[in-house]
Amino acid sequence: MNFCLSDLVPPLRWSDAATIPLLRDRPGLPDAWWRSLPMARLLIVLSPEDLAEILARIAMEHWPAAAVGDVLPALYVLDPDEADEPCTAIALDRTGSWAGLLSLTGHELRDQPFIQPFPVLTVLFAAVFHRVAHLSPGSGSPAAASPSPSEVPEAGGQKAREAALKVTPATPAPEAGPVSPADPEAGPGPEAGAEAGAEAGAEAGAETGRDAGAPSAPSVPEDGRMAVPTTEEVEHVPDGDEERQPAASLHTLADGAFADLEDKSWAVAQNRLFSDEPATVEALAKLFAVPPGVIQDLESDLRRQFKAWLASENAAPYREHLAEIKKVLGKAAPKTRLITAADWHSRELHSLDVPAWQFVMASLPEYHLVDEWLVEGDITELRHHTRDVISGAKPPLTMTKALALVTSLGIHPEVSKEWLENVPQLRILGAGQRSNGAATKARPKPKAADRTERAERPAADASGEGPDDGPGKAPYRPLKDVSLTRRCFRQPDGRWWLRIDITSEHIEGSECPLPSGFAAYLGMAPGDSRTVNSAVGELTLNWRDRPAVESLRTLLSDVGAKQGSYLFLTLSDEGVLRARHLPAAGEEVEPTAQALRLVGYTAPGGTPEQAARVIATRVGMSGPVSVPDLLVRLRERGDRDLLSLLA
């Protein structure tokens, strides 16, 4: 007796499986193979891992509301030890039991912290398919009697038989008698069917193998396990494909670096070392119900292990690859440049369940990922350097000249234009573009302070009209970038917010000054006046003698602000003024918590070191930052209140 994939996976019977590309577009398999091809023959064409990956993707994309156990009910009788991988161990820790894990839907798996649904489903489904592939025909099952080859369904005809069994008979095989498709409502349970399917596949292979000139199908030894090809057979590279071997070996080398980690170490490696968005130590500690120090110790051990591996003789080819990658990246490059630098970078490292490019990124500690850019060193400093080079160039400054200047900073020409577009408050004239429609003339070189204070503006044109008199004036460039502007902090939404310390004058409706760096970040320049929407109606921003909001009285009244509290402001992409109000911290609050509140961070707890990391991120610093470096940055910005609390 035989059974098919649709007998194991009920959703295939009640969904329109023929419309699912992952099922329909399978080369080498007959039409509707999921309900016509016996599992024993299917697992000769597709490995258990390949079939599990297909089913996992279908479950996530097409059946997200189905419970894991409803997708593959055989999981309920599977021994959990057969699916013992770090990703499933973490999932079990989160759900509390095997039954609890199987009761989760695809949507619910996605919502669980630290659970990666696709790897978990792949491991679970592969464990079942391995069990099906390795069932013993001599186990005493009622289905142990082997059917003759003529009793095996044709499953799409002789062409399908050849594809499934990977043979090319010299003479046509005899036609099999008509057999009705497998009936999901009848017959013994899956286990009996699996034994019959495996036995039928072996018998059919043996019968076909006896045809003259035909190679034999994979044999089934006495212990019932399918014969496994040798390493030489599997890894044989056809002529002309030798260039693929280095990439494959590098992927294998990286995949084996952390192949034997226990559960906690695996979770720390995946979520801290090799992640582009590292989880917090506290979150991992809560996951495993251990003190944060345990997670920190594990992370330190893993970093030492990683450093030792990178320095080892075995990793020499990988170090050569890193040297090439550094040349590809240059001083700064988009993240996509790292991903596409080598074919294997986009592949998964199965030992860690992370993309290989994240492993490579962790191997380059001098590079930091900020705003989808990989930058060697501090991105804020590189942006400042870029602005200084551009503003110090002799006019007229065209895009071609600007790109050449950026290239001189170590940024590759092919990404230099993209880098310029990502530097805030920087605009370059395009090729042949003229301000006010007239050619620009040379002007006396401004003083260093003036050059820093103002953006490069066109000189008076032939008609004598100055840059401030016409519509062609360049954007205002403040003395300091927003990242170096006092009381400006980058929040998790990626925007810079200004903290306003509320006074009685603000509550009474007086004008509220804005720092020029923040006003320029909002797109304003001297002489501008803008009306923006807010939660309480329209508010006016202007820049006469100084940038300011005309009045915050209505807004402060709406949020119940009091003297000494804080109001954080920014503009959305739609030009709406967004505001967030925080009450003042009480005198009993410790200095570290007060400092965090000043940057808009209100989560409880945390050590001074953790607070320093949060504040460093909020003021635009990236990568590991020491407390002395943070204090230097705060002093440079003028945040004396933060300095006094952290000193």
Confidence grade of residue 308 (pLDDT, cut at 50, 70, 90):
very high
Six token digits for residue 417: 């234009």
On whether both 636 and 567 belong to a single domain, the answer is no
Looking at residue 553, which CATH number applies to its domain? 2.40.330.10
Please check the confidence at residue 525 and state whether its pLDDT lies above 60. Answer: yes
On whether both 606 and 575 belong to a single domain, the answer is no
- Rounded CA-CA distance 249/342 in Å is 13
Cβ of 196: how many Cβ atoms within 10 Å? 27
- Number of structural domains in the chain: 4
% of residues, the chain, pLDDT over 70: 73
Q: What is the mean pLDDT of the chain?
A: 75
- In sign, the C-alpha dihedral spanning 627, 631, 632, 636 is positive
Asked, for residue 525, whether it belongs to a domain, the answer is yes
On whether both 493 and 605 belong to a single domain, the answer is no
Six token digits for residue 615: 């504040």
On whether both 592 and 548 belong to a single domain, the answer is no
On whether both 544 and 578 belong to a single domain, the answer is yes
Model confidence pLDDT, tens digit, residues 363-373: 998 998 888 89
pLDDT value for 246 = 60
Of 397-411, 417-431, 550-564, 613-627, which gets the smallest average pLDDT? 417-431
Q: In sequence order, what are the residues at sequence separation of 6 or more whose Cβ sits closer than 8 angstroms to the Cβ of residue 261? A: 86, 269, 351
On whether both 575 and 602 belong to a single domain, the answer is no
On whether both 339 and 390 belong to a single domain, the answer is yes
Six token digits for residue 529: 């006046």
- Rounded CA-CA distance 386/383 in Å is 5
Read off the pLDDT of each residue in 98-123 and give the average, rounded to a whole number.
84
Asked, for residue 437, whether it belongs to a domain, the answer is no
- Rounded CA-CA distance 330/328 in Å is 6
On whether both 579 and 591 belong to a single domain, the answer is no
- 3-state SS of 539-589? EEEEECCCEEECCCHHHHHHHCCCCCCEEEEEECCCCEEEEEEECCCCCCC
Q: Are 350 and 255 in contact (CB under 8 A)?
A: yes
β-strand partners of 498: 488, 569
Please check the confidence at residue 550 and state whether its pLDDT lies above 50. Answer: yes
Six token digits for residue 433: 């573009």
Domain boundary among 75, 109, 135: 135
Strands 566-571 and 496-501: antiparallel
Q: Containing domain of residue 591, as a range? A: 587-646
Model confidence pLDDT, tens digit, residues 471-508: 444 455 555 688 889 999 998 778 899 999 999 999 99
Asked, for residue 112, whether it belongs to a domain, the answer is yes
pLDDT value for 478 = 55
pLDDT value for 567 = 93
Please indicate whether residue 612 or residue 467 has the higher confidence score (pLDDT): 612
Please check the confidence at residue 117 and state whether its pLDDT lies above 50. Answer: yes
Asked, for residue 451, whether it belongs to a domain, the answer is no
**Cis geometry, peptide bond prior to residue 396 (ω within 30 degrees of 0):** yes
Asked, for residue 14, whether it belongs to a domain, the answer is yes
Asked, for residue 291, whether it belongs to a domain, the answer is no
Please check the confidence at residue 598 and state whether its pLDDT lies above 50. Answer: yes
Asked, for residue 484, whether it belongs to a domain, the answer is yes
Read off the pLDDT of each residue in 510-524 and give the average, rounded to a whole number.
90
Of 28-42, 198-212, 519-533, which gets the smallest average pLDDT? 198-212
On whether both 504 and 524 belong to a single domain, the answer is yes
On whether both 347 and 422 belong to a single domain, the answer is yes
Please check the confidence at residue 322 and state whether its pLDDT lies above 80. Answer: yes
Crossing angle (nearest 10°) for helices 86-95 and 117-133: 110
pLDDT value for 497 = 94
Cβ of 277: how many Cβ atoms within 10 Å? 7
On whether both 340 and 419 belong to a single domain, the answer is yes
Read off the pLDDT of each residue in 142-167 and give the average, rounded to a whole number.
38
